[in-house]
Amino acid sequence: MRPFVAALGWVIGGGSTWALLGTAFLPGTCVTGGQMSVIALATVLYPPGMRSTVVGWALGIGRLGGIAGPLIVGSALGAGFLPRDVFFALAVVLVVASISVLMLERRSRA
């Protein structure tokens, strides 16, 4: 997903409309898949009595991110940041999220 977000930053800078639509489709698909995989991750990491609460919180935080994300990007663009820089910064955030999930996976196996 990180390469798709970074590619989106490059395409926004001067790509065609079709390239922009195709490139925007890929990160959107990955984000949706990631949100749906929260349920599977909860079944591996948490005991049965906590799973529904964990899934509820995870999906709720995801919804907050869905609200805050456009506001943050809009504010950054309004402040004069280049779209490419904003999307590269988002790619860095996704790297941190990926590392967090990998750490959870290793912790669950220990």
pLDDT of residue 40: 79
pLDDT of residue 80: 95
The model's pTM is: 0.65
Of the candidates 51, 44, 42, 31, the residue with the CA atom closest to the CA atom of residue 98: 31
pLDDT tens-digit map of 13-59: 676 778 878 888 887 777 777 777 777 777 788 888 988 898 888 88
**Rg (alpha carbons) of the chain, rounded to whole number:** 16
